[in-house]
A and B are shown apart, each in its own frame.
Chain A
């Protein structure tokens, strides 16, 4: 546990100083929003129907930017070999990385949401308090698998393409749930409850799966 906290604190400190990940993510998400704004010029009613999909696609692509650099520092400084031989549990490392990514992507979401509201004149007709629940569950779904697949992609060719290639198909149920839940809450036409439950189930399944298999992946070869 203390290793997790220490690694997490270190990563956050380094990121705060360089702001590498946050800046690239932010810029990327901003570009996506602007380009989508040019492509679609919806009415307020239409906005509520499509915003769910747009928002989560933008966040997903921005998250990939952050995820791709998850292990970059460790790889550069050959730290991973040290982790392999140390008695420290591999899962602490994984959790630290996953939490770090979760914080980065959440910060991005907090910064981008006002922009989306402005560009698309958004107003939730359904229970708005459910939106943070969807955001937290959905972000963790992307981040937990993303961090895991980033580790799997480390020694593959075309590493940056490998990560989204592996992540997107497996994430389909989570993505569907995020988008449908957000749309349901914005339009107020349906209940998001099933989708939130599905997201939590997804999170549980893949958090357990990642913790169970991370050591295996770390020690591969």
Chain B
């Protein structure tokens, strides 16, 4: 297991470099938007990755609610954090793309708004994790994740209808996709998935170690107290 980590790291780095090359050099230039459209190859895979991570968070949270399994709790924490990172990337690259193409930084575009709401929900999830007392944190966080998941379809429909009432440009490219661009998109997604997996794995190991150290420290202070009272 330990040997796999650096090997996977090298593979990921290679894949990301290759994907970057594909995005900047190989992919055809878009007719109307020009080179700026290449942001698409980073913006969309980041969004898909973030959504996948949040989905895993939901599943891990449900598993925790049913089984009270510590591993599930750590997976939930890890995917929430890394998901927020990828979500932030989506929310930053979206406006950077929108500005030169449509002249506006933000529009209540369906996908971008949904991403923003998910970002807000999961940031509140992370704040809850930080601020609640350690005994009940996993449980409360899992409950919040379930509530967030219940919210997602409602968010989707509310924004969808809002947009039919107040139409605006679509960030992220609507319509059909040139298959050559589709190929580059998938390569970049594969690269970012590997990268996300590496980051999650690292974060998981860090959290596991952190909890072990906390346990040892608790044990240590208990023993000190005992020896202190005995003498």
Contacts and interface: CB of A to CB of B under 8 A. Distances in A.
Interface of A: 145, 152, 155-158, 162, 165-166, 168-170, 172-174, 176-177, 180, 190, 194-195, 198, 201-202, 205-206, 209, 213, 216-217, 220-221
Q: Which of B121, B123, B132, B140 has the most CB of A within 10 A?
A: B140
A165 B124 contact: yes
A176 B136 contact: no
Interface residues of B, number: 30
Interface stretch (B71-79, B147-155, B211-219): B147-155
A205 B139 CA distance: 20
Contact of A169 (B124, B133, B135, B159): B124
A82 B135 CA distance: 20
Nearest to A194: B161
Going nearest first, the 6 A-B pairs with the smallest beta carbon separation are: A169-B120, A173-B158, A220-B136, A221-B136, A221-B135, A173-B154
Contact of A176 (B132, B133, B135, B159): B159
A213 B135 contact: no
Nearest to A162: B131
Nearest to A191: B165
Q: Is the interface of B mostly helix, strand, loop or mixed?
A: helix
A213 to B, nearest CB: 5
A166 B124 contact: yes
A221 B154 contact: no
Interface string B130-148: 0111011001100110111
A90 B140 CA distance: 17
A15 to B, nearest CB: 28
Contacts of B21: none
Given A156-B133, A221-B133, A216 B139 contact: yes
B136 A213 contact: no
